[in-house]
């Protein structure tokens, strides 16, 4: 998150989303006035439910690009497809 901010890219960071409330990227985003959200995988009974919740929150921000920085879990295409195919 910090590296993206320091790069001063010609874009707007719509939101930073994490599955961990204590993620450093959330703190950095909040200190720069960027919207944040937590989708904690432990709050969902299974992976499909978590992926659906993650897709919903991503799509709510209408991103042009989704960056999975530090998100090491396998992310199925349907989780990102609403954001990718919205153009």
pLDDT at 16 over 50: yes
Rounded to two decimals, the pTM is 0.77
Tens digit of each residue's pLDDT (9 = 90 or more) over 47-56: 889 988 998 9
What is the number of other CB atoms lying within 10 angstroms of the CB of residue 63? 19
Report the distance separating Cα 82 and Cα 62, nearest Å: 9
For residue 57, pLDDT beyond 90: yes
CA dist list (Å): 43 to 3, 26, 51: 30, 19, 12
Rounded distance between C-alpha atoms, residue 13 and residue 82, angstroms: 18
């Amino acid at each position: 998150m910090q590296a993206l901010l320091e790069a001063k890219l010609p874009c707007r960071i719509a939101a930073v989303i994490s599955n961990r409330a204590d993620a450093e990227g959330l703190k950095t985003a909040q200190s720069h006035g960027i919207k944040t959200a937590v989708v904690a995988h432990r709050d969902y009974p299974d992976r499909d439910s978590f992926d659906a919740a993650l897709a919903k929150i991503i799509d709510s921000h209408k991103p042009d690009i989704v960056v999975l920085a530090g998100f090491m879990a396998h992310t199925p295409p349907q989780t990102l497809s609403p954001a990718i195919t919205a153009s």
